[in-house]
């Protein structure tokens, strides 16, 4: 058992009421201490039920903080949830659903929550004002010294260094109407739209439907409103085309109304069930979006307003009504709107002493006030809390009368209390509206921004557009749902009647952006609780010229915490507006950006990570390699044989080197076979095929005879080399092009481009046939004998019938029709055999069998690489996108007789500069030193920096088994003129320098006798 | 209080910080200036600062359409390095890096330049070779770099994916120890304050809307706050370059693309330096505040919207989670975009133009933050002397026509690929 | 996600496509008669407008057709789409 | 003439991973998804070239008795299925024994069509069961709801980042997925992982 001690009793839990399940007690721990809560609790409500008031520490001053809200806006009560590889720092206690065995710890404190050494920052706070770090730490001992200390103190929770064991996935959905938010407005909208038969998706961030109804004691048609919500939920569940996703946050609207949403499938459980992802990221593509995201309450800004026990009034009602928790025993209520009264009634109903209702409005004569007075509450108008006291929990507060001009009248009065419920009005959640490109329009009546104009396919309703009365939310919802469905072709567009509410009409609020301090007291008034931004910080920013809201934000970090200013931005911007003497809409607001609430990186990544980061491409011969000692290597998406171990060998440097050398030697002296299936193969058909190839290749293809292959070079439009490969003419109008593995997709796309866009007059079709054919190269002096033995009787592969660059499509091997090309990358007598992929292994085995007596062995990429360097063939490192044909010694392949892609650029001065690096061979003068690829070629390695450079080594073989010493290729300035001379190949990263002799590029059989043999 | 120091801070603390003055003035634009710099981003501000500091030219205005630092200087991932392959770039960026090393003292503003090391991972032999070539070239230029093998990388960053599960195993990497990060906003503000103190007028909310011409010369700049006469004009408007250039009839080898960036919730120190993935575009570091700052590829289409789309977000996160499977549970707090002036070879342009007294600073792609001081330095020189500094000779506008391209990646004239 | 109406497949997410770029650039029809300056203009220079931009996309994961799209680079709104040979106009 | 030989058996890309059985967490009425491999199929790509579409279509209908479907559609005719996969491009499917390629070649080449054998280049899976749509929706952005993707609808699209053809067959929620052979194992892994929470059967 992880819980050593007995659970404490839930001292702050009401005996009845709430939506918790008292029959399902759950044990959990916080900071190592065991507690008990109920199913339906959040961590915050369960801690409050157990009388725990301090749940976190603030970012900068490390002030003890309690819970301020009951929702996603929570800035204070952030904890580390779970442990080990699943540790999740900065998790809002208000959003953690309680589960059995939950473990959470406080964060950003040392050594513990109650005694935090970093609280010294609070004492030093007068130095640590906004932006102090820009003004100091510049001279000795320098920023590096201080940064270490600051980094150690900064950050909130600690991440883990272990790999997350849980899975994530993505899900796509389409619908007619998406409703974001399952409060009364969203429920009404989803229901109306759903009843028409339209495809509807309803998402809500929380674990259930009802929104604010879950927190309030409203009634609908005389019954508890929450019962109405439950009945709507039940009806929605029965509608076949409606999908309800709870625990799902719509975090952003992207172009064309793609709504990103994250569903927490298993965050309310100890670990995800087998085969179930922890979270699922939804791509929702609705025709219409209805945003019914509700509103978020604003705190009042007064002295000590961050003390544990100071809560938003709406949150207090949530704890009372939904969780049956009493967040205090003696409460003071302070508000600039009628919510104060409403809260007082709920507090009283739960048996809590309401010491005082403070209405900051100078005069309010609304119905709520009348009711409160009638009920005997002590109401003080035009008054507010001016300072709150109590480090680890509230003990009381000063209250004073406001003079309406930023000061107080008369003396303040101390009122003992352990709870302050405060409300500064409500801020509509216009985040998604803003993501969709909608404007924010200031509204004086509610003192907040409302959604302004946006396209007709995203509408915002209910509290999210400032309609705070329940009846208005409902009528908004019924109307929007009907309209959205009918615009998608469902229903008549008429809204049903809304149920009847029992609302008490409300009087307007009176904006109040900060409360003056208790006369004579120095107080801290927090605007942004998480980042410890105070009224004074905002004034300082103003003094120093950081007066635009964007500068204010960046200078003070206002609104930059995990809550993104949900509770602080409007207060902060309003205070800046006041300092500037301008209106709030003039000053404006900062930009709303996704995500609405923070989203785990893993959820975005989904399955596309780890092994699945990119799909793996296997050749048709893969299974043979795997059964025959292969070591695979990643080559782009492909897995290709790197080399083959002999039975019983394990991977090591020695076995690898031996294998590679043996593979080269076998191929050069006998015969080898390798898998070249990954080379791109493009089928080119149509009467204009030859003309087309003649245009895209720099060398001529018009006259290529049927049954012949030719090496071709392709340039980009900018004149630099793009790709190479051999192309064969299978008939007058039918060609097979091959490309390098890496460029296969790009070359196909380019060919399609020229055919579809540039030369639509050419009658040619191109298709990839890479996957259709397994490809095997069969080079070596014995290759013809092996091939002759492999092909079925009747096929003639003699030098006469199949000469160098010959092609035949009529042979069969084991009955399988194959294409045989007499081409070679290694410089040996060689063939490439293409066999339909499903028969690839059968054909490969037939060839292996035929070669057995000749000592055939398979070779991998390493041996292939060495042999192509021995031949001086160019590959990826030479085709690096910066070389011209002439740089590579392929200048003769740029025809002067015709136009081809890239020719228009070939004459640029820089491309014809004789000083350009040219491809050469390089060998160590001492005959043994390795010349590593990536070495730089210089005349004088000891020259003063910057050392003039002549070029670099592109490819190298540490040992050419054929010539018996290391060889390499490089690009060297005026290289062809330097053949026979010596240069230095330096590798300062490893302190290596090698004297190298410049040679021709071809080290083996330069006349190409073997090819033709 | 104008001078910043620990003493002034203490003194102010004792008097409630009432004595601090504006970091820069908010002047009305004058009738005309010797030099007008268009664009109050890092480069524009640095240029004005060095015009005054190095060349004694102080009758200078910076015209900024919004608030200074609201462009890319305020929305980048703050990586500073000089690990370039090609000499034309390497010398320039190294000059810039050297300036970074003394910048806070020079400006009397802590830009929090932090040399925590920039590590580029490699995932194949070919990539190791390419890194080696770059590192060797840097060494020959006197620039620090180190080639790490797999084990070295594991020691530095044990939580990267060294498991069997990694799709692209880590072979090693190239480390530039002197590389690092800086506090982006502070760079803008520090240069602004520095320039202001030398007499430069910083004029915000002043959008350039056109030019008055006299033949091959620009005589005045039309703005949303009136027409302002000019001696010379330097243009440093990053993602908006083509638009402003079009006002004088210049067509440029530039496309505007959106690049997204992300910051996570603040964490205790988790990542020491800057790490970039080699098997896809992804880079990450941790801000002094504790947020992981990360980014990746462009959104691939021309865009002037400072926001991107979800597929790129997912791709960036996929790469990040693959490289560092320990950050999957870390939550992204905010995402945003910036408009990149993608040049056709992926390298910048600091150059004279066909218009006699108009100078161009553009084409930064996603690498111009690290260039800020160096760019300002050589651009100021180019404007003051009417000829390039030796460090921006290779960064000319003509190079596209002559073929003297600076294509670090060899991607060719396809901006989205750089 | 930008939804791009493919003239063959209907509207699809933009991540099925690969972006090609400026469609107002027309490759010189007679390469032999094209000056280096015109090649330079074709390969390197871009109008790069803010607002309506005529561009090519390639439906690479779909029907593999190249399409012409008129798209607003400031809002990402697709104003029109068609085949390469179509002359596109913004609606209304 | 070469003697008539029996061809070796075709080896599918999934032979090494296809282990029959039930996996994951089945739903109340058994596995949510059943996957079978469609083996022994000829898949012949047919391109009509410039101005030959009508003639090619006529030739196909005359010789195979199948009408080439319009964009976004698939059609069955006799023992064949034809799927539109691109402008003037179709994939024709029929079992190996039908001699499909030869018949097509004979019919359409004179009419100006091109024929390409892709039989070995594709792995074709058939998915059916109550949770097929949910499984596929984890990997593709297209709308598979019957209102949007009725029988005989076919799409070239992305599935788990791979290019595929999705062909909605007759019957409730039966889809054929054609993938490139080389990626077949990757696709198979993704499909199985996606289906595991619904339970799946490899049959
Ligand atoms: C997401 C992202 C990540 C990046 N990461 C890095 C990185 O890690 N390292 C790195 O080195 N670089 C990085 N960069 C690139 C770097 O930020 C830019 O290259 C660099 O900031 C551009 O120079 P600037 O600061 O002058 O541009 P900006 O700050 O964009 O300045 C240009 C200014 O010109 C103004 N302007 C435009 N038009 C007008 C007009 N008509 N009139 C008046 N003013 C006008 C704009 O409002 C803007 O303020 C990144 C960029 C982004 C977007
Ligand atoms: N007393 C007041 O002045 C006052 C002020 C505001 C609201 N209210 C009351 O609150 C209710 C408002 O109704 P409503 O339906 O407009 O809002 P609501 O607050 O009841 O419901 C909004 C719902 O949206 C969800 N949500 C928000 N953003 C989301 C997102 N991005 N993704 C997923 N889910 C998201 C929330 O979890 C919540 O359940 C009414 O009952 C109204 O009377 C009263
Ligand atoms: C290096 C860096 C770190 C950032 N850290 C944070 C952060 O901790 N919290 C936050 O809200 N935003 C952070 N931002 C993002 C800014 O809030 C803002 O999104 C960005 O500067 C772009 O501006 P805009 O969103 O106003 O367009 C950071 C940005 C950068 C460049
Ligand atoms: Zn298409």
Please state whether beta strands A812-813 and B79-80 pair in parallel, antiparallel, or not at all (unpaired). unpaired
Q: Which residues of B touch C17 (CB under 8 A)?
A: none
D106 and D155 assigned to the same domain: no
Q: What is the CATH number of the domain that holds B103?
A: 3.50.50.60
Cα A806 to chain centroid distance, Å, stands at 51
**Closest chain D residue to the Cα of C1, Cα to Cα:** D141
pLDDT band at D4 (very low <50, low <70, confident <90, very high): low
As a whole number of angstroms, the distance between CA B262 and CA B71 comes to 16
A50-82 residue pLDDT tens = 999 999 999 999 999 999 999 999 999 999 999
**Closest chain C residue to the Cα of B402, Cα to Cα:** C40
In contact, B41 and B188? CB cutoff 8 Å: yes
Q: Which residue has the tokens 């949830």?
A: A81
Residue B126: which of A550, A877, A908 has the nearest Cβ? Answer: A877
- Across the range A274-300, mean pLDDT stands at 98
Q: According to the model, what pLDDT value does residue D6 have? A: 86
As a whole number of angstroms, the distance between CA A715 and CA A911 comes to 13
The DSSP secondary-structure symbol of A754 reads: I
**Closest chain A residue to the Cα of C40, Cα to Cα:** A905
Compute the Cα dihedral for A661, A667, A673, A678 and give only its sign: positive
**For chain D, what is the total number of helices (H) and then of strands (E)?**
4, 12
Query: Is B19 contained in some domain?
Result: no
Interface check for A653 against chain B (CB to CB < 8 A): the answer is: no
Omega before A327 within 30 of 0, i.e. cis: no
D89-114 residue pLDDT tens = 999 999 998 899 999 999 999 999 99
Q: Regarding the domain delimited by A624-675+773-867, which CATH topology (the fold level of the hierarchy) does it fall under? A: Gyrase A; domain 2 (3.30.1360)
As a whole number of angstroms, the distance between CA A947 and CA A938 comes to 8
- Across the range A497-525, mean pLDDT stands at 95
B131-153 residue pLDDT tens = 999 999 999 999 999 999 999 99
As a whole number of angstroms, the distance between CA B96 and CA A725 comes to 43
D153-167 residue pLDDT tens = 999 999 999 999 999
- Residue A51 contacts by C-beta under 8 Å, 6 or more apart in sequence? A8, A11, A12
Interface check for A908 against chain B (CB to CB < 8 A): the answer is: yes
Q: Determine the CATH number of domain A680-768.
A: 3.30.70.1400
Q: According to the model, what pLDDT value does residue D5 have? A: 66
pLDDT band at A140 (very low <50, low <70, confident <90, very high): confident
In contact, A261 and A250? CB cutoff 8 Å: yes
B282 and B219 assigned to the same domain: no
Interface of A with D in 255-284 (CB under 8 A): 273-277, 283
First to last CA, chain A: 80
| Interchain contact, B242 vs C48, CB within 8 Å | yes
| Interchain contact, A758 vs C27, CB within 8 Å | yes
For residue C78, give how far its alpha carbon lies from the nearest alpha carbon of chain B (Å): 12
Same fold? A299-424+505-518, A914-1012:
no
| Interchain contact, D156 vs C62, CB within 8 Å | yes
Q: Which of D1, D4, D7, D96 to mutate to test the interface with A (most CBs of A within 10 A)?
A: D7
| Interchain contact, A437 vs C1, CB within 8 Å | no
Residue where one domain finishes, among candidates B342, B360, B395:
B342
Count other C-beta atoms under 10 Å from residue A633's C-beta: 17
Q: Is the pLDDT of residue D2 over 70?
A: no
Query: Is B164 contained in some domain?
Result: yes
A374-410 residue pLDDT tens = 999 999 999 999 999 999 999 999 999 999 899 999 9
Residue where one domain finishes, among candidates B342, B359, B385:
B342
Residue where one domain finishes, among candidates B315, B342, B369:
B342
Q: What is the CATH number of the domain that holds D186?
A: 3.30.1360.120
User: Of B60, B93, B175, B164, nearest to B368 (Cα)?
Assistant: B93
pLDDT band at A5 (very low <50, low <70, confident <90, very high): very low
B61-90 residue pLDDT tens = 999 999 999 999 999 999 999 999 999 999
Q: Which residues of A touch C1 (CB under 8 A)?
A: 254-256, 258, 283, 285
Return the ligand 3 atom nearest residue A565 CA.
11
As a whole number of angstroms, the distance between CA A1002 and CA A987 comes to 24
Q: What is the CATH number of the domain that holds D76?
A: 3.30.70.1520
Q: According to the model, what pLDDT value does residue A8 have? A: 54
A424-444 residue pLDDT tens = 999 999 999 999 999 999 999
Q: Is the pLDDT of residue A7 over 70?
A: no
Q: What is the CATH number of the domain that holds B294?
A: 3.30.9.10
Q: Determine the CATH number of domain A525-589.
A: 1.10.10.1100
User: Of A246, A250, A275, nearest to A169 (Cα)?
Assistant: A275
Domain boundaries, chain A: 2-135, 168-295+428-487, 299-424+505-518, 525-589, 624-675+773-867, 680-768, 914-1012
Interface check for A812 against chain D (CB to CB < 8 A): the answer is: yes
Mean pLDDT, chain B, whole residue set: 97
Q: Considering chain B, what percentage of its residues have pLDDT values greater than 70?
A: 100
As a whole number of angstroms, the distance between CA D49 and CA D51 comes to 6
Residue where one domain finishes, among candidates D85, D120, D155:
D120
**Best mutation site among A295, A366, A445, A502 for ligand 2 pocket (most ligand atoms within 8 Å of CB):** A295
**Dihedral angle over CA of A392, A394, A400, A401, nearest 10:** 120
**Best mutation site among A212, A367, A435, A499 for ligand 2 pocket (most ligand atoms within 8 Å of CB):** A212
C46-90 residue pLDDT tens = 999 999 999 999 999 999 999 999 999 999 999 999 999 999 987
Inter-helix orientation angle B372-385/B87-107, to 10°:
100
Q: Is the pLDDT of residue D172 over 80?
A: no
Residue A425 CB–ligand 2 contact under 6 Å = no
D17-73 residue pLDDT tens = 999 999 999 988 999 999 999 999 999 999 998 889 999 999 999 999 999 999 999
The DSSP secondary-structure symbol of A109 reads: -
Q: Is residue D126 exposed (0-12), middle (13-18) or buried (19+ Cβ within 10 Å)? A: middle
Number of domains within chain D: 2
Query: Is B372 contained in some domain?
Result: yes
| Interchain contact, B252 vs C46, CB within 8 Å | yes
Chains that touch B (3 or more CB pairs under 8 A): A, C
Q: According to the model, what pLDDT value does residue A612 have? A: 95
D88 and D125 assigned to the same domain: no
Interface check for D165 against chain A (CB to CB < 8 A): the answer is: no
Mean pLDDT, chain A, whole residue set: 96
Q: According to the model, what pLDDT value does residue A142 have? A: 85
Return the ligand 3 atom nearest residue B75 CA.
31
Concatenating the DSSP letter of every residue in C19-80 gives EEEESS----SSGGG--HHHHHHHHH-B---SSEEEEEEE-TTTT--EEEEEEETTT--EEE
Q: Is residue B138 exposed (0-12), middle (13-18) or buried (19+ Cβ within 10 Å)? A: buried
Ligand number, closest to the Cα atom of B283: 1
Domain boundaries, chain C: 3-25+36-82
Q: Determine the CATH number of domain A914-1012.
A: 2.40.30.110
Q: Which of D4, D6, D8, D190 to mutate to test the interface with A (most CBs of A within 10 A)?
A: D8
pLDDT band at A866 (very low <50, low <70, confident <90, very high): very high
Q: Is the pLDDT of residue A364 over 80?
A: no
Interface check for A814 against chain D (CB to CB < 8 A): the answer is: yes
D49 and D142 assigned to the same domain: no
D153 and D192 assigned to the same domain: yes
Please state whether beta strands C3-6 and A812-813 pair in parallel, antiparallel, or not at all (unpaired). unpaired
Residue A130 CB–ligand 2 contact under 6 Å = no
Concatenating the DSSP letter of every residue in A406-419 gives SSEEEEEEEEE-SE
Protein residue whose Cα sits closest to atom 12 of ligand 3: A560
Q: Is the pLDDT of residue A720 over 80?
A: yes
Return the ligand 3 atom nearest residue B74 CA.
21
Q: Which of C4, C13, C48, C55 to mutate to test the interface with B (most CBs of B within 10 A)?
A: C48
Inter-helix orientation angle B42-55/B372-385, to 10°:
50
- Across the range A787-799, mean pLDDT stands at 96
How many CB contacts within 8 angstroms connect chain A with chain D?
A: 147
Q: Considering chain B, what percentage of its residues have pLDDT values greater than 90?
A: 99
Protein residue whose Cα sits closest to atom 5 of ligand 3: B263
B58 and B153 assigned to the same domain: no
The DSSP secondary-structure symbol of B47 reads: H
In contact, A492 and A479? CB cutoff 8 Å: no
How far apart, in Å, are the Cα atoms of A249 and each of A86, A246, A449, C36, C55?
A: 21, 8, 22, 56, 35
Q: Is the pLDDT of residue A423 over 60?
A: yes
As a whole number of angstroms, the distance between CA B314 and CA A597 comes to 17
Residue A903: which of C27, C31, C66 has the nearest Cβ? Answer: C31
D178 and D79 assigned to the same domain: no
| Interchain contact, C62 vs D142, CB within 8 Å | no
How far apart, in Å, are the Cα atoms of B191 and each of A432, B187, C4?
A: 36, 6, 43
A593-603 residue pLDDT tens = 999 999 999 99
| Interchain contact, A199 vs D145, CB within 8 Å | yes
Q: Regarding the domain delimited by C3-25+36-82, which CATH topology (the fold level of the hierarchy) does it fall under? A: Folate-binding fold (3.30.2270)
Number of domains within chain B: 2
D136 and D88 assigned to the same domain: no
Q: Which residues of D touch C64 (CB under 8 A)?
A: 86, 156
Q: Considering chain A, what percentage of its residues have pLDDT values greater than 70?
A: 99
Return the ligand 1 atom nearest residue B244 CA.
41
Q: According to the model, what pLDDT value does residue A274 have? A: 96
Q: Regarding the domain delimited by A168-295+428-487, which CATH topology (the fold level of the hierarchy) does it fall under? A: FAD/NAD(P)-binding domain (3.50.50)
Residue D87: which of C15, C16, C63 has the nearest Cβ? Answer: C63
**Best mutation site among B40, B63, B64, B76 for ligand 1 pocket (most ligand atoms within 8 Å of CB):** B76
Q: Determine the CATH number of domain A299-424+505-518.
A: 3.50.50.60
Q: Is residue B136 exposed (0-12), middle (13-18) or buried (19+ Cβ within 10 Å)? A: buried
- Across the range B15-40, mean pLDDT stands at 96
| Interchain contact, D158 vs C65, CB within 8 Å | no
- Across the range A841-864, mean pLDDT stands at 98
Q: Which residue has the tokens 């530095």?
A: B156
Residues at CB less than 6 angstroms from ligand 1: B 38-44, 63-66, 70-73, 75-79, 207-208, 236-240, 244, 259, 261, 295, 338, 340, 364, 366-370
Residue D71: which of C8, C15, C64 has the nearest Cβ? Answer: C8
Residue where one domain finishes, among candidates D120, D142, D177:
D120
B368 and B405 assigned to the same domain: yes
Return the ligand 3 atom nearest residue B185 CA.
31
Ligand number, closest to the Cα atom of A531: 3
As a whole number of angstroms, the distance between CA C85 and CA A82 comes to 59
Q: Which residues of D touch A276 (CB under 8 A)?
A: 197
As a whole number of angstroms, the distance between CA C68 and CA C80 comes to 8
List phi, psi (to 5°) of A266: -135, 15
B348-393 residue pLDDT tens = 999 999 999 999 999 999 999 999 999 999 999 999 999 999 999 9
The DSSP secondary-structure symbol of D10 reads: P
Omega before A141 within 30 of 0, i.e. cis: yes
How far apart, in Å, are the Cα atoms of B39 and each of A317, A905, B43?
A: 51, 34, 8
B314 and B330 assigned to the same domain: yes
Domain that holds residue D31: 21-39+121-202
In contact, A422 and A403? CB cutoff 8 Å: no
Inter-helix orientation angle B372-385/B184-197, to 10°:
30
CA of B255 to the centre of ligand 1 (A): 14
Query: Is B23 contained in some domain?
Result: no
Q: Which of B265, B299, B336, B346 to mutate to test the interface with A (most CBs of A within 10 A)?
A: B265
Query: Is D9 contained in some domain?
Result: no
Domain that holds residue B300: 119-176+255-342
Chains that touch A (3 or more CB pairs under 8 A): B, C, D
Q: According to the model, what pLDDT value does residue A4 have? A: 40
pTM above 0.90, yes or no: yes
CA of C10 to the centre of ligand 4 (A): 7
| Interchain contact, C8 vs D87, CB within 8 Å | yes
């Amino acid at each position: 058992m992880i819980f050593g001690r007995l659970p404490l009793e839930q001292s702050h839990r009401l005996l009845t009421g709430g939506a918790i399940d008292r029959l399902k007690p759950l044990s959990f721990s916080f900071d190592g201490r065991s507690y008990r809560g109920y199913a339906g609790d959040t961590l915050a409500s369960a801690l409050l039920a157990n009388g725990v008031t301090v749940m976190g520490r603030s970012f900068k001053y490390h002030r003890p903080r309690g819970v301020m809200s009951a929702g996603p806006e929570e800035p204070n009560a952030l904890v580390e949830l779970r442990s080990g590889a699943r540790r999740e720092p900065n998790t809002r206690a208000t959003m953690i659903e309680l589960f059995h065995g939950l473990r959470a710890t406080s964060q950003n404190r040392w050594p513990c929550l109650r005694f935090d050494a970093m609280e010294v920052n609070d004492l030093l706070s007068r130095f640590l004002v906004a932006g102090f770090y820009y003004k100091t730490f510049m001279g000795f001992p320098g920023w590096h010294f201080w940064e270490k200390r600051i980094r150690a103190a900064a950050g909130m929770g600690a991440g883990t260094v272990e790999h997350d064991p849980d899975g994530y996935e993505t899900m796509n959905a389409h619908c007619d109407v998406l409703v974001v938010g399952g409060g009364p407005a969203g429920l009404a909208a989803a229901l109306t739209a759903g009843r028409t038969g339209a495809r509807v998706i309803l998402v809500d961030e929380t674990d259930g439907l009802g929104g604010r109804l879950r927190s309030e004691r409203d009634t609908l048609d005389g019954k508890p409103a929450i019962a109405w919500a439950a009945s709507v939920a039940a009806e929605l569940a029965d509608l076949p085309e409606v999908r309800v996703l709870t625990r799902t946050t719509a975090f952003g609207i992207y172009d064309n109304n793609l709504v990103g949403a994250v569903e927490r499938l298993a965050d309310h459980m100890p670990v995800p069930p087998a085969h179930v992802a922890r979270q699922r990221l939804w791509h929702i593509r609705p025709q219409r979006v209805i945003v019914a995201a509700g509103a978020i309450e604003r705190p009042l800004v007064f002295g000590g307003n961050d003390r544990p026990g100071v809560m938003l009034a709406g949150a207090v009602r949530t704890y009372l009504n939904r969780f049956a928790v009493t967040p205090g025993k003696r409460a003071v209520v302070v508000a600039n709107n009628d919510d104060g009264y409403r809260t007082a009634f709920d507090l009283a109903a739960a048996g809590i002493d309401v010491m005082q209702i403070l209405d900051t409005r100078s005069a309010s004569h609304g119905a709520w006030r009348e009711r409160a007075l009638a009920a005997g509450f002590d109401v003080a108008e035009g008054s507010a809390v001016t300072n709150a006291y109590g480090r680890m929990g509230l003990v009381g507060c000063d209250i004073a009368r406001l003079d309406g001009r930023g000061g107080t009248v008369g003396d303040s009065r101390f009122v003992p209390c352990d709870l302050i419920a405060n409300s500064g009005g409500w801020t509509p959640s216009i985040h998604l509206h803003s993501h969709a490109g909608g404007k924010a329009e200031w509204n004086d009546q509610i003192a907040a921004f409302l959604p302004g104009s946006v396209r007709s396919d995203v509408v915002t309703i209910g509290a999210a557009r400032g309609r705070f009365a329940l009846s208005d939310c409902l009528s908004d919802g019924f109307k929007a749902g009907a309209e959205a469905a009918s615009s998608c072709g469902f229903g008549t567009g008429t809204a049903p009647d809304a149920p009847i509410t029992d609302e008490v009409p409300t009087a307007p609020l009176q904006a109040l952006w900060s409360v003056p301090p208790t006369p004579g007291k120095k107080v801290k008034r927090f605007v942004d609780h998480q980042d410890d931004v105070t009224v004074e910080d905002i004034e300082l920013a103003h003094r120093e010229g950081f007066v635009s809201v964007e500068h204010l934000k960046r200078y003070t970090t206002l609104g930059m915490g995990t809550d993104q200013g949900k509770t602080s931005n409007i207060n902060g911007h309003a205070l800046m507006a006041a300092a500037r003497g301008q209106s709030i809409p003039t000053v404006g607001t900062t930009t709303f950006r996704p995500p609405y609430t923070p989203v785990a990186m893993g959820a975005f990544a989904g399955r596309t990570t780890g092994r699945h980061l990119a799909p793996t491409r296997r050749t048709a011969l893969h299974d043979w390699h795997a059964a025959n000692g292969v070591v695979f290597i990643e080559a782009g998406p492909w897995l290709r044989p790197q080399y083959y171990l002999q039975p019983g060998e394990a991977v090591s440097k020695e076995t690898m080197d031996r294998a590679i050398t043996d593979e080269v030697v076998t191929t050069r002296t006998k015969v080898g076979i390798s898998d070249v299936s990954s080379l791109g193969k493009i089928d080119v058909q149509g009467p204009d095929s030859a003309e087309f190839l003649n245009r895209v290749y720099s060398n001529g293809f018009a006259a290529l005879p049927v049954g012949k292959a030719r090496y071709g070079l392709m340039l980009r439009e900018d004149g630099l080399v793009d790709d190479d490969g051999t192309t064969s003419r299978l008939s007058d109008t039918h060609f097979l092009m091959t490309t390098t593995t890496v460029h296969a997709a790009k070359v196909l796309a380019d060919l399609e481009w020229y055919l579809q866009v540039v030369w639509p007059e050419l009658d040619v079709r191109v298709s990839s046939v890479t996957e259709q054919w397994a490809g095997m190269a069969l080079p070596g002096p014995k290759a013809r004998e092996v091939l002759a033995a492999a092909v079925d009787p009747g096929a003639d592969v003699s030098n006469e019938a199949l000469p160098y660059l010959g092609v035949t499509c009529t042979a069969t091997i084991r009955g399988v029709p194959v294409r045989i090309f007499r081409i070679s990358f290694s410089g040996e007598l060689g063939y490439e055999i293409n066999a339909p992929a499903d028969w690839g292994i059968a054909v490969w085995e037939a060839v292996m069998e035929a070669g057995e007596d000749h000592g055939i062995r398979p070779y991998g990429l390493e041996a292939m690489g060495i042999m192509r360097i021995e031949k001086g063939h160019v590959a990826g490192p030479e085709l690096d996108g910066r070389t011209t044909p002439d740089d590579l010694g392929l200048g003769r392949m740029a025809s002067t007789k015709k136009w081809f892609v890239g020719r228009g650029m070939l004459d640029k001065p820089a491309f014809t500069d004789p000083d350009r690096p040219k491809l050469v061979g390089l060998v160590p003068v001492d005959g043994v030193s390795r010349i590593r690829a990536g070495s730089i070629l210089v005349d004088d390695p000891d020259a003063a920096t910057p050392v003039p450079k002549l070029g670099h080594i592109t490819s190298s073989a540490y040992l050419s088994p054929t010539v018996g010493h290391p060889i390499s290729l490089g690009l060297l300035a005026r290289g062809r003129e330097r053949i026979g001379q010596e240069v230095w190949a330096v590798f300062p990263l490893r302190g290596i320098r090698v004297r190298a002799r410049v040679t021709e590029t071809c080290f083996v059989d330069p006349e190409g006798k073997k090819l033709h043999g | 209080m104008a001078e910043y120091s620990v003493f002034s801070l203490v003194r102010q603390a004792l008097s409630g910080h009432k004595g601090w003055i504006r970091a820069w003035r908010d002047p009305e634009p004058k009738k005309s200036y010797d030099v007008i710099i268009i664009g109050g981003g890092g480069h524009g501000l640095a240029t004005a600062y060095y015009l005054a500091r190095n060349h004694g030219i102080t009758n200078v205005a910076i015209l900024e359409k919004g608030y200074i630092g609201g462009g890319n200087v305020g929305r980048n991932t703050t990586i500073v390095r000089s690990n370039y392959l090609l000499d034309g770039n390497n010398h320039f960026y190294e000059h810039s890096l050297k300036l970074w090393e003394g910048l806070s003292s020079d400006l009397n503003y802590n830009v929090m330049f932090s040399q925590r090391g920039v590590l580029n991972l490699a995932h194949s032999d070919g990539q190791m070779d390419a890194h080696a070539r770059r590192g060797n070239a840097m060494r020959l230029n006197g620039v620090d770099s180190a080639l790490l093998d797999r084990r070295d990388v594991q020691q530095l960053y044990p939580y990267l994916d060294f498991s069997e599960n990694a799709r692209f195993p880590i072979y090693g990497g190239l480390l530039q120890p002197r590389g690092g990060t800086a506090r982006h906003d502070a760079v803008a503000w520090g240069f602004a304050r520095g320039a202001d103190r030398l007499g430069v007028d910083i004029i915000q909310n002043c959008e350039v809307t056109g030019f008055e011409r006299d033949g091959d010369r620009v005589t005045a700049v039309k703005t949303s706050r009136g027409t302002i006469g000019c001696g010379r004009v330097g243009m440093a408007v990053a993602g908006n370059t083509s638009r402003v250039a079009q006002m004088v009839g210049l067509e440029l080898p530039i496309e505007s693309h959106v690049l997204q960036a992300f910051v996570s919730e603040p964490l205790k120190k988790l990542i020491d330096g800057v790490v970039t993935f080699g098997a896809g575009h992804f880079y990450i570091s941790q801000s002094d505040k504790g947020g992981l700052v990360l980014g990746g590829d462009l959104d691939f289409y021309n865009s002037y919207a400072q926001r991107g789309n979800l597929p790129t977000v997912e791709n960036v996160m996929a790469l990040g989670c693959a490289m560092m499977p320990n950050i999957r549970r870390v939550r992204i707090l905010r995402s945003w975009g910036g408009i990149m002036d993608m040049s056709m070879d992926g390298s910048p342009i600091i150059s004279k133009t066909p218009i006699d007294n108009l100078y161009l600073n553009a084409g930064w792609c996603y690498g111009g933050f690290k260039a800020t001081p160096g760019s300002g330095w050589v651009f100021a020189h180019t404007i003051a002397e009417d000829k390039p500094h030796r460090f921006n000779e290779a960064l000319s506008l003509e190079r596209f026509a002559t073929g003297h391209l600076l294509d670090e990646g060899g991607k060719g004239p396809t901006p989205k690929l750089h | 996600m930008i939804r791009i109406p493919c003239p063959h497949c209907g509207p699809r997410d933009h991540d099925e496509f690969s972006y090609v770029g400026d469609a107002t650039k027309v490759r010189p029809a007679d390469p032999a008669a094209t000056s280096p300056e015109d090649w330079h203009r074709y390969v390197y220079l871009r109008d790069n407008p803010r607002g309506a931009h005529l561009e090519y996309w390639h439906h690479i994961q779909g029907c593999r057709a190249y399409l012409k799209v008129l798209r607003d680079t400031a809002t990402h709104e697709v104003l029109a789409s068609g085949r390469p040979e179509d002359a596109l106009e913004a609606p209304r | 003439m070469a003697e008539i030989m029996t061809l070796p058996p075709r080896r599918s890309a999934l032979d090494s991973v296809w282990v029959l059985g039930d996996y994951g967490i089945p739903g109340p009425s058994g596995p949510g998804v059943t996957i079978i491999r469609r083996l022994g199929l000829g898949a012949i790509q047919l391109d009509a070239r410039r101005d030959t579409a009508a003639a090619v279509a006529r030739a196909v209908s005359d010789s195979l008795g199948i009408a080439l479907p319009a964009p976004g559609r698939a059609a069955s005719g006799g023992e064949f299925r034809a799927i539109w996969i691109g402008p003037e491009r179709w994939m024709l499917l029929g079992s190996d024994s039908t001699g499909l390629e030869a018949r097509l070649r004979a019919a359409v080449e004179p009419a100006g069509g091109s024929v390409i054998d892709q039989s070995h280049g594709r792995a074709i899976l058939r998915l059916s069961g109550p949770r097929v749509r949910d499984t596929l929706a984890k990997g593709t952005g297209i709308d598979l709801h019957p209102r949007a993707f009725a029988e005989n609808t076919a799409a070239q699209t992305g599935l788990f980042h791979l290019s595929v053809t999705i062909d909605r067959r007759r019957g409730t929620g039966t889809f054929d997925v054609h993938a490139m052979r080389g990626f077949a194992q990757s696709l198979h892994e993704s499909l199985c992982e996606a289906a595991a929470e619904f339970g799946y059967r490899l049959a």
